Amino acid sequence: MACDFTYSHYREIVRNALEAGYQISSFHNPVPVDEHAKRVLYIRHDIDGALTEAIKLARVEAEMKVRATYFVHANSPLYNLLEESSLPLIEELASLGHWIGLHVDPTMISALKAGSIEELVEKLFASFGGLIPLTRVASFHRPAAEVLDKSFTSFTSTYEPRFFSTIKYLSDSRGKWREGCPCEVLKDGRYSKLQLLMHPIWWSESDQRDVAELAEEVLEVRRETCLRYLRTMEPFKSEIK
């Protein structure tokens, strides 16, 4: 099968991992359920684009009886965690058996008047923790030196050494695998522990997606959300079709 960003190839990637004996684990409880597991895989999804894209991938994993950790963006301009259309999708992620963490943009530190990265993340968990089913795990948006290879006391970070520098780390950032598709690496069981970061926005039924068209699709979802809201207000209600 061709190495692409289709759901069918993602199924192959997961099958290769399972057949090679990888046990898929969470970040918040990284000790393997099977103490005799030879290999451990941490599957991470940062939702940078749209929750609708994440649900599609989450359903594929659920069909394969696989769990992953999905990181919802605390201040994404493309979706609002607490809007009416988002909450059912987040609930579905949890109902499918997946874990949910926070995707944190460190540049929020000044806006939220936080004295440190740890305080920033604490504030976000305090704000969202009672509203959506979160585990106390954070991934960082566009991570800088201040979070790379750092551990924190009040939450788990996907960039702690035990998940990042002391194990193998592979990412599809910018829609590309920098070291090639992980399908063969997983099939060979080349690494005893591996973190696999995938962004749902890059994955689809077909690999023939134009990046410009993909951007328009994401923006159209946001536009429709805004239009639905404006239609509830006068005088917009009578002017917007």
Enumerate residues 6+ apart whose C-beta is below 8 A from 239.
Answer: none
The verdict on residue 75 lying in a domain is yes
Same domain, 155 and 225: no
Q: pLDDT tens digit string along 149-186?
A: 999 999 999 999 999 999 999 999 988 999 999 999 99
Same domain, 226 and 200: no
The verdict on residue 2 lying in a domain is no
Same domain, 157 and 227: no
Q: Considering its fold, how many domains does the chain have in total?
A: 2
User: How large a percentage of the chain has pLDDT more than 70?
Assistant: 95
The verdict on residue 187 lying in a domain is yes
- At residue 168, the 3 state secondary structure works out as strand
Same domain, 124 and 193: yes
Same domain, 216 and 198: no
Q: Which residue, 201, 68, 77, is CA-closest to 135?
A: 68
Strands 22-25 and 39-47: parallel
pLDDT at 50: 86
Residue 195: which domain range?
A: 7-209
Same domain, 131 and 199: yes
Q: Which residue, 5, 9, 20, 46, is CA-closest to 196?
A: 46
